[in-house]
Amino acid sequence: MKKITTIIFVLTSFLSFSGNEKRNDGSRAASMGFTGVSISDFWSVTNNQAGLAYIENLSIGLYTENKFLLKELNRSAIAIVNPLNSGVIGLSLSYFGYNMYNEKKLGIAYSRKFSEMIAFGLQLDYFHTKLGDNYGSKSAVTFELGFIAKINKNLSIGGHIYNPIQAKFNDYNNEKIPSTIAIGLANKFSENILTTIEFEKSINTPLNLKTGIEYKITENYFARLGINTNPELLTFGFGFNYSSFTFDFSSNYHQILGYSPQMSVIYRF
């Protein structure tokens, strides 16, 4: 058991580098190569808070991911988005890991349109990381911010900066939360086809090129596909709307580590 725990912890460290890195939520984004910076939808609450400005209904959502089919690498998130007269606010809470190592994140977001063409968003983040076997826990506070500009009815550009201040958990060993910057485009080629492309760079990793495509089969059914270059991932999934609910299912495939399925559900009041 100790050997398995050690392997899991090493794998987690290898995948997460310093831990608490930027993660995109929502199976729609996950199936489209984890491209969320230029899209405005419910999961903008974590992917790019500027996109919240275009949300019109009070909504609540749940998201779960089983990374490489290992329960120790499970991640789950819950969020609520509430439009106000002067903007849109969002609250999100996520959990990653297991009893020997876990990361929690609480985010409070605010987004506002300054015209129909451009919106900005800001989020304050609180992190808490726990390491088992009496190693203790650490907390940190930081922020993230982004914008979305709608060039026309079909083309939008988005940008997002995560943890620009490189917040630290501990001065010892320089334990910093990785900073990440992303910029991307979303283009609606037709009524049925949406494509995305995104460039993401973390302070700890090489540039990641991400791209995705969404095909609207009917008014309520969607098929999606995407790729990442670093790490090399193939992503795919589908979604459908039913009454006030949106259900999305996705997975990505790593040629060495295998599949990572995701699922999300959104309810609009």
Query: Which residue is listed with tokens 């699922």?
Result: 263
CA 197 – CA 190 distance, rounded (Å): 16
Q: Which positions ≥6 away from 115 have C-beta within 8 Å?
A: none
Can you tell me the mean pLDDT for 180-196? 95
Pairing of strands 118-131, 258-268: unpaired
Question: Binning pLDDT at 50, 70 and 90, where does residue 177 land?
Answer: confident
> In this predicted model, what pLDDT tens digit does every residue of 8-55 receive, in sequence order?
544 444 444 457 888 889 999 999 999 999 999 999 999 999 999 999
The model's pTM is: 0.88
Residue 113 has pLDDT above 60, yes or no: yes
Cβ contact 207:199 at 8 Å: yes
> In this predicted model, what pLDDT tens digit does every residue of 222-249 receive, in sequence order?
999 999 999 899 999 999 999 999 999 9
CA 99 – CA 23 distance, rounded (Å): 20
DSSP bridge partners of 125: 107, 142
**% of the chain surpassing 70 pLDDT:** 90
> In this predicted model, what pLDDT tens digit does every residue of 116-162 receive, in sequence order?
899 999 999 999 988 877 667 888 999 999 999 999 989 999 999 99
**% of the chain surpassing 90 pLDDT:** 75
Q: What is the pLDDT of residue 76?
A: 95
Which pairs count as long-range contacts for 120-126, CB under 8 Å and 24+ apart, including other chains? 120/50, 120/53, 120/145, 120/146, 120/147, 121/44, 121/48, 121/49, 121/50, 121/51, 121/52, 121/53, 121/145, 121/146, 121/147, 122/49, 123/49, 123/90, 125/163
Domains and their CATH numbers in the chain: 2-268 (2.40.160.60)
Backbone φ and ψ for 10, nearest 5 degrees, come out as -65, -45
Q: What is the pLDDT of residue 1?
A: 46
